[in-house]
């Protein structure tokens, strides 16, 4: 068993109503793998950074059981950089700056040691790059989960649909589900998207929780109502990392186990937003996670006995 994550390892500069950061470590693969590392012993990543990426960042990832053999370091180039500012409601944000840098020519190479991959998480990247990783694996993984974003729907819809057709689980947000399907109703959108190939669809609704669909069933996991959302950056990736990490740990890809994985993903995301960047994820304990999952259980559990049930 092994878990392979592809995606960005990046610098972010974030501004929220609560404060502002200088360049801090971010990126989809970073959040996914830090989150997944709460469930599996080792997370393999395939990504790229520049020579400006600090050794302390590499150390932090390794201390969190992230294997860096697949992380290409280009000494003479610069790491991908994103800067954004959140509005007061924390649900919307403006991108202030995007510098692709090393990402412009990223050509993912999967090391031989990663070929045993059973669980593959495709973090948000160009769909052609995501597809290249699928094709470079000698054996198809047991489960491929894919994240993407509206940007690729705007500029590369055909390539995106081609990659989507190759995965088992697609994870997108509500607006993206509407854009991808052309349907406003999420229930209708889900059926159209599932017809594109994936067996399962996760629709993330931020502070309003997440929906898991297959062709016949739907499951809803709320987001935990928090006292304070400090920084939503990485919450979706952290959710995805918890989701696939839990599945990789339990080796069970039934719909019932995916429900649990959605709850664990939601619990991980609820930690992510409590501090800037990856801070809260770096030192999370099993006890804290278990306590948080308990809160989810008590948040939604009720007991109704129906006559015909």
- The residues that touch a second copy, with contacts defined as CB under 8 A, are 88-89, 184-188, 205, 208-209, 211, 217-222, 225-229, 256, 259-260, 263, 290, 293-294, 297-300, 302-304, 306-309
Of the pair 11, 213, the CB lying nearest a second copy is at: 213
* Smallest separation (angstroms) from a second copy to the CB of 241: 18
Of the pair 126, 223, the CB lying nearest a second copy is at: 223
Distance CA 25, CA 56 (A): 10
Measured CA distances, 70 to 125, 171, 173, 214 (Å): 16, 24, 28, 33
* Smallest separation (angstroms) from a second copy to the CB of 276: 17
Of the pair 283, 307, the CB lying nearest a second copy is at: 307
Give, as one character, the DSSP assignment of residue 73: E
Beta-bridge partners for 99 = 81
Distance CA 122, CA 148 (A): 8
* Smallest separation (angstroms) from a second copy to the CB of 222: 5
Of the pair 29, 263, the CB lying nearest a second copy is at: 263
Of the pair 91, 98, the CB lying nearest a second copy is at: 91
Of the pair 64, 266, the CB lying nearest a second copy is at: 266
Q: Where are the alpha helices (DSSP H) in the chain?
A: 28-36, 55-63, 127-136, 150-155, 157-164, 174-181, 186-194, 235-250, 255-272, 279-282, 286-300
Residue 86: CB partners within 8 Å, gap ≥ 6?
A: 14, 15, 16, 17, 92, 93, 231, 232
Of the pair 110, 258, the CB lying nearest a second copy is at: 258
* Smallest separation (angstroms) from a second copy to the CB of 287: 8
* Smallest separation (angstroms) from a second copy to the CB of 299: 5
Q: Positive or negative CA dihedral for 11, 135, 64, 208?
A: positive
Relative orientation angle of helices 255-272 and 28-36, to the nearest 10 degrees:
110
Nearest alpha carbon to residue 146 among 268, 264, 28, 30: 28
* Smallest separation (angstroms) from a second copy to the CB of 141: 25
CA atoms within 13 A on the CB side of 308: 0
CB 262 within 8 A of CB 293: no
* Smallest separation (angstroms) from a second copy to the CB of 84: 19
Q: Which residue in this structure is represented by tokens 């995965």?
A: 167
């Amino acid at each position: 068993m092994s878990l392979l994550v592809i995606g960005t390892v990046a610098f972010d500069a974030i501004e929220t109503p609560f404060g502002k950061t200088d360049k801090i470590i971010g990126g989809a693969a970073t959040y996914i793998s830090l989150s997944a590392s709460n469930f599996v012993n080792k997370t393999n990543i395939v990504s790229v950074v520049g020579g400006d990426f600090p050794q302390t960042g590499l150390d932090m990832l390794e201390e969190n059981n992230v294997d860096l053999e697949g992380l290409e370091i280009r000494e003479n180039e610069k790491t991908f950089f994103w800067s954004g500012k959140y509005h007061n409601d924390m649900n919307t944000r403006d991108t202030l700056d995007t510098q692709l840098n090393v990402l412009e020519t990223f050509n993912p190479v999967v090391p031989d040691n990663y070929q045993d991959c059973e669980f593959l998480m495709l973090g948000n990247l160009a769909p052609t790059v995501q597809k290249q990783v699928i094709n470079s694996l000698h054996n198809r993984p047991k489960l491929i989960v894919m994240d993407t974003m509206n940007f690729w729907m705007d500029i590369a819809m055909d390539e995106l649909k081609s990659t989507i057709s190759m995965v088992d689980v697609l994870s997108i947000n509500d607006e993206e589900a509407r854009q991808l399907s052309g349907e406003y109703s999420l229930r209708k959108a889900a059926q159209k998207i599932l017809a594109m190939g994936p067996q399962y669809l996760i629709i993330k609704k931020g502070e309003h929780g997440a929906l898991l669909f297959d062709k016949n069933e739907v499951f809803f996991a709320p987001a935990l109502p928090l006292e304070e959302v400090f920084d939503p950056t990485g919450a979706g990736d952290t959710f995805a990392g918890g989701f696939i990490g839990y599945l990789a740990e339990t080796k069970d890809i039934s719909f019932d186990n995916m429900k649990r994985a959605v709850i664990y993903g939601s619990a991980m995301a609820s930690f992510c937003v409590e501090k800037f960047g990856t801070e809260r994820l770096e030192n999370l304990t099993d006890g804290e996670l278990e306590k948080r999952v308990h809160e989810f259980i008590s948040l939604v559990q009720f007991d109704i006995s129906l006559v015909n049930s």
